[in-house]
Structure 1
């Protein structure tokens, strides 16, 4: 069974489209169709249902997909092991990250890692904490960097970075003239929330609850899937929000957003390196894991 065909098949399953898979692997759509047809003839089962422009794996396709991912992983690990034998570090590592670490922390760390290991390719998928955790648990990504812990016995979480969440309001908002506001006043203003499954949202709501404020009292006027959308919405005067200090640093410096302290409430949180329990990291994955830990310039202080 040709590994390249399995790689193509996996991309079709993951992207849900022959067209998108063709773009991702730099092949023509007819070639993609031919690879899938050949695989189906080999296994004697239909693997993919064509649903107009979209596709979905059949029950047989779902079974083959699980094994195909394992075969591709073993192939990649074998190539990495041979590179290590030659005294090199080469190959691809798949890394998932939630919005804040993926946007504001990882680029610098990946840059310094690539300087040391130029032959390594790092594929980063940025998504919600829930999606990243599930991808690591299912083996689609080797490592993950997320803003909250996810309850899954298959996963381990190691705290490695610090973050602070802040209350951001539009330029000229009445609260900017106040030294701080009581937490109860959050219910007075329209609030822009991150979508469900966001680490920022989960941590924010947990801290508010611990401070005696029911998040259900927030006047949520919009739920946004990205931090960037929240930033732009605050600047447009849609509402206020609580988000990462790193995400709004430039806006605050340029005066387009203002930060308002909340009396008696500090929004500190950790970022976690997430791995699949019992899974041995590839040589490249192990090197990146160590790099993230040793080149951390935003340590999270241990309690006490």
Structure 2
């Protein structure tokens, strides 16, 4: 019995069609059908029922499907254990992250990671993007997630998610009910901004420049060291700001701030995963990358 045949059965039930499995595994549909037929011949019974466009398991099929998943999971665990025996250490993974990924992205990622590696201790080092990139350069961390693209030849860099910067205002702000505003509407406002080295700051200033606006045209009154500090300052009425949409969503839902569209400025940026190229085949780094 081949593992790939068991995997085909599992994929067939999850995808619901032979054609979808064929596309996923880069095979022809007849080839997938032949593998499932061979599996049925092995057990001398039908495993799946083909009813019009629907695929259903027979009672025997349910048993084979359930046990196939166990076998495939056990095989993945065996590969991990073999890597451990070969000398890789799985005691600890150190992740560097800028503030947006650390607060609004990493919690969900780590929940998925711990399902695969509950024994691994994960340490998070947080700083602005420039600081975090330096920790990777100095090998103080195993991998990083940042809002500024690391430009170093020794790094493997992967774009993992796209984020936008959005305008947030205090709840009672005079522009809060507008369907959209322009940059000209914000000239008289105190604009709050992140500190030097922040990926959010870099993206905001790049967006203004692209729109033909010099930062000196705005009243940039306060620099703050984290996105949560910016949101709290906006909530308190100290000014307006552009922040990550990932960060703004919860604050808007809770009524702490309001979000208003800016007609003449769209700031989109990516978040990046990076690690040293020579470590790209290490199991923990590969597994963490595969979460995305």
Same fold at TM > 0.5? yes
The answer to which of 221-230 and 245-254 deviates more is 245-254
State the partner residue of 1:220: 220
* Counterpart for residue 276 of structure 2: 276
**Alpha-carbon contact 1:129-1:198 (below 8 Å) kept:** yes
Bigger radius of gyration: 2
CA distance in structure 2 between the partners assigned to 1:279 and 1:223 by the alignment: 37
User: What is the CA–CA distance in structure 2 between the aligned matches of 1:197 and 1:88, rounded to whole Å?
Assistant: 34
Q: Give the Cα separation in 2 of the matches to 1:88 and 1:177.
A: 56
Q: Deviations 1:173-204 (Å, cap 9, x if unpaired)? A: 11113221222333210011000100000011
Q: Give the match for residue 202 of structure 1.
A: 202
Whole-angstrom CA distance in 1 between matches of 2:87 and 2:152: 37
For each residue in 1:112-154, what CA deviation from the matched residue of structure 2 results, as whole angstroms up to 9, or x when unmatched?
1101111111111111100111111111111110112144344
Structure 1 residue aligned with 2:10: none
> Residues 1-304 of structure 1: matches in 2 within 5 Å?
84-85=84-85, 90-280=90-280, 282-291=282-291, 293=292
Tell me how far apart the structure 2 counterparts of residues 161 and 286 of structure 1 sit (CA, whole Å): 17
Structure 1 portions without partners, runs of 5+: 1-79, 294-304
CA distance in 1 between counterparts of 2:267 and 2:151 reads 21
Seen in structure 2, the aligned counterparts of structure 1 residues 89 and 108 have a Cα distance that, compared at 3 Å, is farther
Question: C-alpha deviations, 1:52-79, integer Å up to 9, x for none?
Answer: xxxxxxxxxxxxxxxxxxxxxxxxxxxx
Report the CA distance shift for 1:271/1:173 in structure 2 as closer, same or farther (over 3 A).
Answer: same
- 2:83/2:283 contact within 8 Å kept: no
CA distance in 2, matches of 1:88, 1:141: 16
SS at match of 2:105: helix
The answer to whether the 8 Å contact 2:191/2:218 transfers is yes
SS in 2 for 1:238: coil
1:89 offset after TM fit, Å? 7.7
Quote the Cα distance in structure 2 between the aligned partners of 1:176 and 1:270. Answer: 27
- Counterparts of 1:118 and 1:165, CA distance in 2: 34
Counterpart-to-counterpart distance in 1, 2:138 and 2:132? 10
| Pairwise CA distance, 1:81 | 8.4
Q: What SS is found at the alignment partner of 1:256?
A: coil
Q: What are structure 2's unaligned runs of at least 5 residues?
A: 1-79
| Pairwise CA distance, 1:228 | 1.1
CA distance in structure 1 between the partners assigned to 2:237 and 2:163 by the alignment? 25
Find the aligned partners of 1:150 and 1:289 in 2 and give their Cα distance. 16
Distance 2:88 2:282 in 1: 14
How far apart, CA to CA, are the structure 2 residues paired with 1:88 and 1:223? 43
CA RMSD of aligned residues (A): 2.3
